[in-house]
Structure 1
Amino acid sequence: MVAAIVTVVTLVVVLSGNEGGAVDPDTTTLAPTTVTTTTTTTTTTTTTTTTEAPPIETTEVPPETPLNEIDLADILDGKLTANSPNGTWASGNDILFLNAYGDLILYDVEESSPTILVSNTSQILQQSYQFKQLSSDGVYVALSYLETMIYRYSFEARYSAIDTRTGAVTNIAPPGIEANDAYLQNFVWSPIGTACAFVYANDIYYQASIDSAAERVTSTGLRNVIYNGIPDWVYEEEVFASNNALWFSSDGSKMSYVTFDDTNVRIMNIPTFGEPGSVEDQYTSHRAIRYPKSGTINPTVTVVLRDIATGGQNTYAAPVDLTEAIIKRVVFVDNTRVAVVWTNRVQTSLVVEMCTFGTAICTRIFSYTENGGWIDNEPFIFNPQGNAFITILPFAVNNVRYKQVVQVSAGATAAALWSLVHSHTRERQHRAASVYPKP
């Protein structure tokens, strides 16, 4: 309780009749009177009852996996690339690819049946980015690893073959070279068994099986000068779009390869900057590349057709009537013949020559001249009989000249398999099939 005391002072003045307002002696002046007033304040306390909600059960979020920093070397070596389908055909029904868990899978498209060939626990598979290929008998998988990119398509790497039944690893290396030092430039399975060929130091080696010793096929290889079974820089970049210039016949009895001789090609020094932070790379170095610019000499090219069992071979040079001939393609037509596609340097003339094992001179089976542009590097697909092929060339149908799928048959001129038709009523263009024998 709070008490407040209020003092009230009352002054009574009685006015007399005396002049001057004198005080009447009979008048009494009252002393101040004290009045005590008590005020009561009531305080009300309100009690609120609350009911607590039950605790919410939560699942603990696992910590995020720390992200690795992107290194330029990972991009240059091909470890980090644009996301694209990684599958390749291993046979007519099977696709070889990496699944989301990093296992190497063989998938049967007819049976919808996946089979793990190499588990993601394989350290070799974990380091393989450029090459994964199944042997023709389906037993071994060849993998490249510890890869170093050279140019756009070429790289050097160690190769191993993994037995898909047991997981046993066989290292692939030329005779006299330790597996740790055997950085190969190319590897190709034969269509038969586990036979294979590879390129080391610009020379070709052949193995009759994955367990047998490798045999040397060529001995002329010279780094940056003479290339066997792999293209030089200009052919890799501008023609083949690949690191391969080595092929087998369908029965595995013959091998064909291209030799590129850059001896007379002029050198261009390209500046390189080395590894960031490296003491050895503080100063710019230069890389010498055989770089044939316009008006200078191109590489000299030859095609070899070799019998694997006997070692006998034929070597074929470029056609003499083509000015500065460029080789475009080598295609096995059957087990004894290859078709070689050549153009002149300005790519306005094309010839296809058939080369048969045991003969020194090839036979010309097709020629084409383009007066309104240049000829692109297109596939040439032969029929099983080897007397017809299809490709893509400019071809006039109904006075409309356009790139067509054409068939070329022995003793006949090119005929369009698909022709361009213009519809005046619908104002659109479409392709209509023409009836020709199956190539």
Structure 2
Amino acid sequence: MIRRWLHDAILVDPESGSEAPGCLLLEGERIAARCGPDAPAPESARPTSLHGARLAPGFLDVHHHGELAACQIDDARGALRRASASLVRHGVTAFLPTTIAWPAPELLARVEHIATAIARSEWPGAVPLGLHLEGPWILSAAAGAQPPAGIRPYDPREGAALFDRAGSLLRMVTLAPELPGAAALQAELARRRVVVALGHTLAGEQDVRAAVERGACHVTHLFNAMGCTRHRDPARPDDAPDGFAAVALAHEALGCDLIADGAHVHPDWLRIAARAKRERTVLISDRIDVPASGRDAWLGADRMRSDGVAWRLPDGRLAGSLLTLDVAARNVETWRVMTRAEAIAACTVRPARLLGIERTRGTLAVGARADLVELDAAGEVRATWVAGRRVYAAD
């Protein structure tokens, strides 16, 4: 087992919000000790100076489409490997590959290929932890850029086949709670201990309350694909069916994630959300990478255009972001949405808590995985460590 002594570092603790000089001892894939700056290097440990870098837990992106939204079905493993290699350049050490609303036969085939790839592959960088299904059980009227032909109510027979193919790798599902069959779907997801997030919905207070009672705990990309936010009776679906975001903001049981690219949500609204949800606010990328070939007609990737920040369809609708989590963290700090410590927490321990893995990821605690990111004073990624190995270093 290789032992490494990381010294001359500023340890960034997302749980306490503190930054202090210190050292870490890594043994194999784990953090074995956390020491003060003057602690002597243990015998047989290989010393590595970080030259004053800030050392934080590796980032965790729970909403990353990558090339999966547009690649060929049988290229799922290749798409995931390319994402794995790319994400570590931005400090991400783990992620949830995220689907879109494909028609039933295609969704089943894609989930099977993705799950098989996750279960059987080794990764050059960031590790895919499991699947996030964004759709197909969402509302057509709040589809955003999701393909309309793939949106549908929950069918228990289709669900059983889908869950069988995903197995224990199904980690998170985004759904609209007002859809027919939503209660049965949530019951099945609760049985499987899958995180339920509300999104692509126009649900009012009654539907949201019922969903929370059934175990929903999160909101996917708050403010996006959920109608407009108004100040007058936003929680009443009969008067203002476009008020889901306001209902979600007011509901204490719901956390949220945000796309902080400056296009999807104005910084003022990011600030409101961060103040309302506090430690339950998570940053995501919602990133889509369109491959050079094999573009999927269901997504309309052949018509997507980049404006340098996000993808847009010909009618101007947003169709995913070009964001990375390191940029998101810098953005929210620059825009005074969050402090630097809060921004790091929103990329690390908070998404880890959402998935119930905060003891092993998103933390610098002894015993946790040695998934780490080195940051300079400006928040730029200098290096990324996965399972105790430095897998990326900036030139």
Q: Shorter-chain TM-score: which interval?
A: under 0.3
Query: So what's the TM-score if we normalise by structure 1?
Result: 0.25
* Higher CA-based Rg: 1
TM-score (norm 2): 0.27
